[in-house]
Amino acid sequence: MSGRARIGIDVGGTFTDVVVAIDGTITHGKADTTAYDLRVGVANALEVVAQSISTSSAGLLGNADSVVYSTTVGTNALVEHKGPVLGLITTHGFEDTMLIGRGRNWADGLSIEARYDRGRAVRPEPLIPRQRVVGVRERMDSKGEVVLPLRDEEVLTQVQMLVDQGVRGFVVVLLYSYANPAHEQRIRDLIRAQYPDVYLGHMPVFLSSELSPQMGEYRRTMTCILDAFLRLETEEHLVALQDDLRTSGYSQPLLIAKCTGGASSTSRTRPIHLFGSGPVSGIVGAAALAGHYELPNVFLTDMGGTSFDLGLVLEGHERTYEYDPVIDRWRVQVPLVAHWSIGAGGGSIAHLQDGILKVGPQSAHSLPGPACYARGGEEPTVTDADVVLGYIDPDYFLGGRVRLDRDRAEAAVTDHIAKPLGVTAHEAAWSIKRLVDGMMGQEMYRIAAQMSGLDPREFVAFAYGGAGPVHAAGYSDAADVSRVATFDFGSVGCAFGTLSLDVAQTYERTHSDILFSAADGGTYRAEAIAPLNEAIEVLLAEARRDMEEEGFDLSALRFELEVLLRFGQQRHTLPIPLAAEPVRDLAQIELLVGRFVTAYGDAYGKGAVFLEAGVEVMGVRLSAVGEVAQPPGSGLSGPVEDTDPEPFGHRVAYWGFEHGERDTPVYRRDRLPSDLVLTGPALIESTDTVCVVPPGWTYYLDGRRVGWLERRKAER
């Protein structure tokens, strides 16, 4: 290795991906995700990449300036409700907040299909059962004034009641604590005095005023519970991983990719930020790539082994935050970059339900895996269907490192699908492919319509994931998208995206006030300036403290401030950018309100603007960004040697009921010359994926080594 390395790691449900950038050259590899200990899969994937550049994993890590890590650790614990025994302390009278939830709490986190089946819908099982929720008599008002003082004796009695039930950690969520945290802080002091650090019985205390100082009791409660529930397993895993990396020679801080769109050290990362960090990394990386081609609107599609993840780049920006995000089955207060996921991946299991073909959401994962893996899996998956159709070469899966068993794949498809339906194995496999492609395409179309209001035909799709290029033409066609970009590193696109993440911290705080009043002909309120400046300064102080501890020169940071505004008494807010500095005069308030009116009209139509209701500020959001060098915009550096435009070979592949079986040319992507145009049907093989070019589509490899799938208009 001639230069210093930057390493990105993404742990998925089936594979663990690693991308290494050295002197503008991208190298990547993958290994099976080891659910029993994710560190094993990480070590294996690092070794695969190291061998490809003629070094060892220790040599690679010893030469690394940074390692950015994205992981699903904690997801299984949440799904299975396997976590620490926690107790919740809240304001007396609000003990059932978690159980009541929001009006639509029964539907949160469910698939669209499940939402329609209301008769069978049930609310999620609480992470903290009702018997471990206690109330204390105290009350703050909405301005933070003490209405009812907290009594120490009652707190100690309730704490002892929880300890007697085996509680090993406390979540404290009091009413209006975001306006005045004094009572929450007093409860923590009492617990720490009762169970000090020197005792084995020391118990962590999580305060909502520190974790999520925002209005909304239910969402604030769930944010704190999820964070506390995941902390133990997350912390143990990341600490152990850091130890492994240091033992192997890595000397820098481990950076953690976050769902907020940035990365930070473990000491400045909350467990809840790990959810969706992989897809969000892919979105951020896609936005950087889209900038190279001046593409304003992009679908980021990532079809891996377990799921199909989808993100949007709109007008060149990836940071479209979800207004009311859901993690698993609960609404939370986290500035989550919007992304969506459905159970459609290479490992998704095909089955018959009342004689009707279904695909997913159940997955074979990496163990036992699809039937063709010959690891004990017997049910047919999407990957098995792709093998039967001839798209995947069983002898060249992962560049030949893994040999697939075509006979097992065909037997699984035949026994479970083809025979019961009275069709051939090819027809059954084609039906599996068409169904899963349609599911993904429908999701793309729905998200485009709901989240952007744009016609899907105005988008270009980026195909990530090992199964992405295999199905890209199929799901893009179903979404009416006619242009798809594929990349040499596309099968590890989310790991590549981690290298695009700046070190960033995002802070939010509730601040409620009226900026514009419609009374007396409409006035801008000068008295709103000082409280708004105070809220901004609180966030700036937190950001400066954290980023200084991350090792950044404060003068080199970029601060991005958004003020959350709405018309009077509305529920939804719009984030409006504002300079990250104190508001000086009334003219700035007037300018801020004007920007809100313009943004509201653009989003909902000019006729929806209703200044007569007044304009309210409901919160402030600050991002502190320390920029890092971006990875190169292509998968290779320099020209390709020994190019060959001729097929590497031919393989019989099935192309549907209309075209049937065809002797199809097979090309090796790393041998193709740039500016080459191929007409489908064709198969473009890489070591870790296959770009399937169906009849009616063309494939063009440009000078940056990006492969473009395009649908020919004549075929529509």
Digit-coded pLDDT (tens) for 37-71: 899 999 999 999 999 888 999 999 998 989 999 98
Return mean pLDDT, the chain: 88
The answer to whether residue 326 scores a pLDDT higher than 90 is no
Question: Which is more confident, 40 or 319?
Answer: 40
Name which of 13-22, 52-61, 320-329, 362-371 the model is least confident about. 320-329
Angstrom distance (rounded) from CA 447 to CA 226: 27
Instruction: Indicate the residue type of 233.
Output: E
β-pairing verdict for 298-303 and 263-265: unpaired
Contact in structure between 486 and 463 (CB atoms under 8 Å):
yes
Six-digit token string for 168: 């090993």
The answer for residues whose C-beta is within 8 angstroms of residue 82's C-beta and 6 or more apart is 76
Question: Degrees (nearest 5) of the Cα angle 623, 505, 627?
Answer: 80
pLDDT in tens, 667-682: 999 889 988 899 989 9
The answer for residues whose C-beta is within 8 angstroms of residue 584's C-beta and 6 or more apart is none
- If DSSP states are collapsed to H, E and C, what string results for 243-303? HHHHHCCCCCCEEEECCCCCEEEHHHCCHHHHCCHHHHHHHHHHHHHHHHHCCCCEEEEEE
Given this model, what pLDDT does residue 586 score? 92
- pLDDT above 70 covers what percent of the chain? 95
Helix (H, G, I), strand (E, B), or coil: what is residue 228?
helix
Six-digit token string for 374: 């010959």
Given this model, what pLDDT does residue 561 score? 93
Helix axes 38-52, 217-247, angle to 10 degrees: 50
The answer to whether residue 1 scores a pLDDT higher than 70 is no
Angstrom distance (rounded) from CA 41 to CA 515: 53
* Class of domain 503-625 (CATH, top level): alpha beta
Given this model, what pLDDT does residue 423 score? 94
Structural domain boundaries of the chain?
81-226, 503-625
